């Protein structure tokens, strides 16, 4: 008899009698995302794949190794749709991606905000040759494509330039990109028209790609938050493709409370048939450079040298000073901008207001001086918690980190959401948190080979006790690893055991299900 058929009241499975299951993980609380509930199950793994699922204890006789986790949660590994982790993955010393592994994240997405490798296939090949600690997937970035063809030019693309950009998008979609990402707030994307983005998005749509965007405005910097939502929806509708809103937020005092109207816009479009999802990090502060936060884009056009030249131009001083002052106000004031990464240790950990006072300068003048030197990172406390909560409870919003140096979100976003919004405030259930961090994210990104505990999927699994998970990073010390996600499997390989990373580099290049 070639197969042993195990028929249970719970599920039906087939196990090849000639090959025992490599290992089984078992618990009273295995998360079934299809039913959105916990079940007492055995989960069998053969090679990279989940090859058996049965009632607890049923697979013990078939397993080479049986790992009983008692009442700990067994969940699919988390998928972070917005990470900026390529620099870590590319370096030998950080390629294990421990700041994500220790959050329970087994797959990271890169290429967000319009910034990606120019050649995804080349980058993926290099990463796999050296080995990486987590799985990785990519968007092709509009800013990257535009910069490759047009540089930082503030003008409309010619037909020839648009054709070249389309070719780059198509090449990368063929290589396995999830879709096209834009960062229309950033350079040079801010110089692009809606029509340009639509034309490029249509190429990605031909390959069933997603349109992922950092909105042109999350505040009142240019067209306004709600108008930026409308623009994103219009691009997706015209290109006939799904829309994913990156790190959705109402940023700054002028738009606090507008989450309700933003949600109404999204849900109205969904009723028209537009597939829309979003991701969100569970913090009240965003993170970027001080230049990106408050220096106008026209000042930054052309790169660092051009920026410094304008900042030193006395004829432009009044205009620049006024616009920086207004941008600081939008973000809630100089006391809400915390300096987190700088080559000047005497100002690290201080607010812009404190630094300005200590130098007897205005906040705007302080920014002008800081923007001339090495990159200064800030945490911008610009969000209203009720807006964060309004977005978080929506079934189309998933968990992300938008990880960046200088912000604890890079080290603790998933633990933060679990601790604050599940265990403490009970805004969402543990089951909802797990769904928003796994299967819902996979569905949003067209990833169908992982993200759930199902037969035939890759065995990316995490085991943890929710109450033992700890957020160790803070805005004062942003780069401390989280603890509590003590057992992690990636593609069937044990990579974190009893809280310790074992050195295994099991990550793969993840492509959408259309390829």
In a domain, 462, yes or no: no
Of 332, 362, 379, the last residue of a domain is 379
Indicate if 209 and 187 belong to the same structural domain: yes
Claim to verify: residue 105 and residue 227 sit in the same structural domain: yes
On whether the pTM is more than 0.75, the answer is yes
Q: What is the reported pLDDT for 11? A: 46
Domain count within the chain: 3
State how far the Cα of 398 lies from the Cα of 383, in Å rounded to an integer. Answer: 18
Task: Evaluate whether residue 273 is within a structural domain.
Answer: yes
> Cβ distance 328 to 294 under 8 Å?
yes
DSSP string of 232-262, one letter each residue: HHHHHHHHTS-EEETT----SGGGTTTHHHH
Those residues with Cβ within 8 angstroms of residue 427's Cβ, 6 or more apart along the chain or in another chain: 389, 392, 393, 421
pLDDT the model gives residue 2: 33
Helix extents (H) in 4-154: 86-90, 98-101, 120-130, 142-150
> Judging by beta carbons within 10 Å of its beta carbon (0-12, 13-18, 19+), is residue 318 exposed, middle or buried?
exposed
Is the residue at 509 inside a domain? no
**Domain CATH code at residue 216:** 3.20.20.140
7 inside domain: yes
Residue in the block written with tokens 């009970």 = 426
Task: Tell me whether residue 208 is in a domain.
Answer: yes
Domain assignment of residue 207, yes or no: yes
Say whether both 95 and 144 belong to one domain.
Answer: yes
What pLDDT, on a 0 to 100 scale, did the predictor assign at position 3? 32
Q: Are residues 160 and 233 in the same domain?
A: yes
Last residue of a domain, one of 71, 102, 128: 71
Q: What is the pLDDT of residue 80?
A: 99
Domain assignment of residue 501, yes or no:
no
| Residues 312, 341 within the same domain | yes
Cβ-based burial of 425 (10 A; exposed 0-12, middle 13-18, buried ≥19): exposed
| 66 and 152 inside one domain | no
Distance CA 40, CA 26 (A): 8
The pLDDT value recorded for residue 13 is 54
- List, for residues 138-194, the tens digit of each pLDDT value: 999 999 999 999 999 999 999 999 999 999 999 999 999 999 999 999 999 999 999
Q: Is residue 105 within 8 Å of 80, Cβ to Cβ?
A: yes
Sign of the CA dihedral 303, 160, 174, 278? positive
pLDDT score, position 9: 37
Last residue of a domain, one of 71, 106, 122: 71
Where residue 59 sits, what CATH number does that domain have? Answer: 2.30.40.10
Confidence at residue 20, expressed as pLDDT on a 0 to 100 scale? 85
C-alpha to C-alpha distance for 96 and 136, rounded to whole angstroms: 12
Residue span of the structural domain in which 422 resides: 78-284+383-438
pLDDT at 76: 98
Are 17 and 147 in a shared domain? Answer: no
Q: What is the pLDDT of residue 40?
A: 98
Note every long-range contact of 89-93, with CB atoms under 8 Å and residues 24 or more positions apart, other chains counting: 89/127, 89/132, 89/133, 89/134, 89/136, 89/507, 90/126, 90/127, 92/130
Tell me whether residue 507 is in a domain.
no
Kindly give, in sequence order, each residue whose CB lies less than 8 Å from that of residue 163, ignoring residues fewer than 6 positions away. Answer: none
- Domain identity same for 406 and 372: no
Q: In the chain, which residues have pLDDT < 50?
A: 1-12, 14, 16-18
- Residue 94 shares a structural domain with residue 197: yes
Does 29 share its domain with 104?
A: no
Residues 374 and 387 in one domain: no
Residue 350: both structure tokens together: 């201080």
89-127: buried (b, 16+ CB within 10 Å) or exposed (e) per residue?
beeeeebbbbbbbbbbbbbbbbbbbbbbbebbbebbeeb
Looking at the fold, whether 371 and 434 belong to one and the same domain comes out as no
């Amino acid at each position: 008899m070639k197969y042993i058929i195990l028929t249970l009241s719970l599920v039906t499975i087939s196990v090849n009698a000639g090959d025992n299951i490599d290992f089984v993980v078992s618990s009273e609380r295995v998360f079934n995302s299809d039913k959105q509930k916990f079940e007492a199950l055995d989960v069998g793994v053969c090679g990279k794949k989940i090859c058996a699922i049965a009632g607890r204890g049923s697979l013990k006789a078939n397993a080479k190794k049986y790992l009983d986790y008692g009442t700990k949660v067994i969940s699919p590994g988390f998928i972070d749709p917005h990470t900026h982790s390529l620099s870590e993955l590319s370096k030998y010393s950080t390629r294990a991606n421990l700041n994500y592994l220790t959050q329970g994240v087994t797959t990271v997405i890169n290429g967000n905000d319009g910034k990606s490798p120019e050649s995804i296939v080349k980058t993926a090949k290099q990463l796999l040759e050296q080995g990486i600690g987590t799985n990785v997937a990519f968007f092709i970035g509009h800013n990257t494509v535009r910069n490759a063809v047009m540089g930082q030019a503030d003008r409309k693309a010619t037909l020839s330039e648009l054709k070249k950009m389309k070719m780059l998008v198509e090449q990368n979609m063929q290589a396995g990109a999830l879709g096209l990402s834009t960062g229309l707030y950033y350079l040079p994307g801010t110089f692009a028209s809606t029509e340009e983005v639509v034309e490029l998005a249509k190429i990605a749509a031909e390959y069933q790609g997603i349109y992922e965007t950092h909105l042109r405005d999350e505040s009142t910097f240019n067209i306004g938050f709600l108008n930026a939502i409308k623009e994103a929806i219009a691009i997706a509708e015209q290109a006939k493709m799904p829309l994913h809103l990156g790190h959705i937020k109402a940023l700054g005092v002028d738009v606090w409370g507008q989450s309700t109207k933003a949600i109404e816009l999204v849900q109205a479009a969904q009723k028209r048939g537009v597939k829309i999802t979003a991701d969100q990090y569970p913090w009240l502060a965003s993170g970027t450079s001080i230049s990106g936060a408050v220096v106008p884009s026209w000042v930054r056009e052309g790169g660092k040298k051009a920026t410094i030249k304008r900042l030193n131009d006395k004829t432009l001083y009044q205009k620049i000073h006024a616009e920086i002052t207004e941008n600081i106000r939008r973000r809630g004031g100089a006391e809400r901008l915390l300096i987190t990464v700088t080559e000047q240790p005497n100002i690290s950990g201080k607010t812009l207001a404190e630094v300005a006072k200590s130098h007897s300068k205005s906040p705007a003048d302080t920014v002008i001086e800081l923007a001339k030197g090495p990159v200064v990172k800030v945490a911008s406390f610009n969000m209203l918690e009720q807006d964060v909560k309004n977005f978080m409870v929506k079934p189309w919003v998933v968990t992300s980190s938008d990880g960046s140096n200088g912000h604890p979100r890079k080290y603790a976003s998933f633990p933060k959401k679990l601790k604050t919004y599940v265990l403490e405030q009970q805004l969402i259930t543990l089951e909802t948190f797990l769904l928003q961090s796994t299967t819902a994210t996979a569905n949003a990104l067209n990833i169908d080979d992982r993200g759930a505990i199902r037969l035939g999927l890759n065995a990316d699994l995490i085991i943890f006790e929710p109450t033992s998970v700890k957020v160790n990073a803070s805005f004062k010390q942003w780069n401390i690893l989280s603890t509590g996600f003590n057992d992690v499997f990636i593609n069937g390989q044990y990579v974190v055991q009893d809280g310790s990373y074992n050195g295994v580099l099991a990550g793969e290049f993840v492509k959408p299900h259309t390829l």
